[in-house]
Amino acid sequence: MSTLIHEFEDILNAEVYIDLDKLRELARHGVPMKVRGEVWKYLLGVNPADRSQELTSQKAKYDEYNNIEKENADIIKRVRGEVIRYQHRMKNASGTFNQNANIFENVIGAHMNRNRDVDYQPTFIYLCGPFVYCIKNEPDVYYCFTRLMAILDEYNSTYNINERVAKFMTLFRAVIPDLCNYFEEEEVNINEWASSWLQFLLAKELQFDDLMRLWDTYFSIPDPIELHPYVCLGILLAY
């Protein structure tokens, strides 16, 4: 693992330009926790590969974030309650989880205030949590979270969830017919869990360390949401 960290650090310490191709190739096989936050920022495009204007760009982003209104009493109350439950669930994650609920409140509050047509969902906590866990700066947490939300929103608005669930069920019946039949016989509400699995990248369903490892790969490839249904099938096959 030390050799792997060294390979990541060699790329991240480049003075002029981050080699994104090499970074993606490495990240597909997993990112060490020590550098995961920095790697994700480049993979998501939050940090530009060209480092010549890095300090200026970073200052502009931080200034922008600091000027975003974050207060939203109703949202803060709901986020705070959900974060308590989330932190209790994630207490066994490797390392020390950031116990400061203010980061969740600020980041999600800022996102909601910038996107007033978006309805709050408890799933936001689960989608934000990995960034809170592995990124030190609150503004960077915000920009990574909003970038992921933009990716999901674009895909979810383009491809109807009911159609995606129907397509997934066709694959499910073809690949694991016995399990699919069992679920139907037991009257398991397949639409309910399949919708969550497909829309939110398993943020609520996977163990925390497994989720971050999966996202290492997802953030490093061009079509993670196209791959995602097959990952879900793989999980069902494994269990």
Single pTM value for the model: 0.91
Which CATH fold would you assign to the domain 2-52? Answer: Arc Repressor Mutant, subunit A (1.10.10)
pLDDT tens digits, residue range 57-84? 889 999 999 999 988 788 888 898 899 8
pLDDT tens digits, residue range 152-166? 999 988 889 999 999
Mean per-residue pLDDT, 71-99: 75
Using H for helix, E for strand and C for coil, what is the string for 194-231? HHHHHHCCCCCCCCHHHHHHHHHHHHHCCCHHHHHHHH
pLDDT tens digits, residue range 159-215? 899 999 999 999 999 999 999 999 999 998 888 899 999 999 999 999 999 999 999
Write down the domain spans for the chain. 2-52, 73-147, 159-238
Secondary structure (DSSP) of 120-170: P-THHHHHHHHHHHH-S-HHHHHHHHHHHHHHHHHHHHHS-HHHHHHHHHH
Greater confidence, 100 or 76?
Answer: 76
